[in-house]
Amino acid sequence: MSELAPIVVRAHGTAGGLVVLLHGGPGAPGSVADLATALADEFRVMEPLQRRSGTVPLTVAQHVADLAAVAPATTTLVGWSWGAMLALSFAARHPRRVRALALVGCGTYDERSRAAFEHAMGERLGAAGRARLETLRARLEHEGDPRQRVALFGKVAALAGAAQAYEPLEPDGSALEPDGSALEPDPRGHEETWSDVLRLQAVGIEPPAFAAIRVPVLMLHGDEDPHPGPATRDLLRRFMPQLEFISFQQCGHTPWRERRAREAFLAALGGWLRVVVGA
C-alpha cells in the first residue's frame, strides 16, 4: 500500500506561541473551530482534522501517527473531549515532543465513569429524549447508505450535545466553512476509533501508559458536564500526579460555548497557555 497522505491542518492566528488544538468525536472535525478562533487573537493555532475512515482502519495508534507527522517537534496540545484523550495518547507515545497538555471536557477511562456518564445523560434527556436517541442509534446501526448514516450520526450528535450543555450561547458561525457549510461528521470513523479506545482500556494499556507524561497537565471541566470530571481527574492523577484541575460552575461539556462560563474558561486557558508557550 502506498504511503498515506498527511491529514489536513487548518491554521488560525498569525502571532504568539503555537498551540495544537484537537477536535472531539471521534469523527467530529471542526468541532473546536470556534475555540481556535477565540485563541487566535493571542496564539497561533494548528487545528488538525483527524483522518477520516475508509483508507485504513482508524485506531488510536493511527491517529497518533497522523498527529506525529504534522505536529511541531515540540508542541503544546489542547484537546477537547475525545481530543483530550488523543492528546494523552500522543504524549504517552512521544513524551519528548510535548511541552504541556490541556484537557478540556476529557472523556472517561473506566466502566464506573462511563456508567455515571450514561446515568447523567439519561436524566438530562428524559423519557422522550432517551426514546429518540435509542431510535436514532438503532436506525444508524442498520442504515447502509453512507449519506443517510452521516445525517443520522449528525442527529445523534446534536441530541447528545444539547443534553451535555448547561446554558449554551447561540452559535456565532465561526465553526462553519467559508461557504456556510459544516465539516461532515464521520460515523464509521467514530465507531472504529472508539472501539480501539475501549480496547486499550480493557487490556490495561491506558491510562497506565500516561505515567510516561511528566510535563504540566491542566484539566478544565464544567461542573454540569455529564462526563464525571472529578472521577476522571482522580484516576488520571494516579499516573500523572502533576495534573492540575479547574472546574467551572454552571458549565457543560463545551465551556467556550457556555454563557455563564465562557469568559472564565478562556481566561484560565489563555493565562495557562501564556505561561507554558508564551504569547
Q: Which is it for the CA torsion 87, 68, 111, 167, positive or negative?
A: positive
The answer for residues whose C-beta is within 8 angstroms of residue 80's C-beta and 6 or more apart is: 21, 22, 23, 24, 31, 32, 35, 104, 105, 254
User: Mean pLDDT, to the nearest integer, of 159-168?
Assistant: 96
Q: What's the pLDDT tens digit per position in 213-238? A: 999 999 999 999 999 999 999 999 99
- The confidence score (pLDDT) of residue 170 equals 85
- The confidence score (pLDDT) of residue 115 equals 97
The residue ranking higher by pLDDT, 176 or 148, is 148
Whether pLDDT at 111 is above 70? yes
User: Mean pLDDT, to the nearest integer, of 87-109?
Assistant: 98
Domains (range + CATH), the chain: 8-276 (3.40.50.1820)
- The confidence score (pLDDT) of residue 3 equals 83
Looking at the DSSP assignment, which residues form a beta bridge with residue 138?
A: none
pTM across the whole model = 0.95
The residue ranking higher by pLDDT, 175 or 102, is 102
Q: What's the pLDDT tens digit per position in 51-94? A: 999 989 999 999 999 999 999 999 999 999 999 999 999 999 99
Confidence of residue 171 (pLDDT cuts 50, 70, 90): confident
The residue ranking higher by pLDDT, 133 or 3, is 133
Whether pLDDT at 196 is above 50? yes
Nearest to 163 by CA among 197, 128, 135, 194: 128
Q: Render 224-242 in DSSP notation, one character per residue.
A: T-SS-HHHHHHHHHTT-TT
Whether pLDDT at 181 is above 70? no
Residue pair 188/144 in contact (Cβ under 8 Å)? The answer is no
- The confidence score (pLDDT) of residue 179 equals 52
Whether pLDDT at 178 is above 90? no
Whether pLDDT at 162 is above 90? yes
Mean residue pLDDT of the chain comes to 94
Whether pLDDT at 172 is above 70? no
Confidence of residue 180 (pLDDT cuts 50, 70, 90): low
Residue bearing cell 458561525: 173
- The confidence score (pLDDT) of residue 1 equals 37
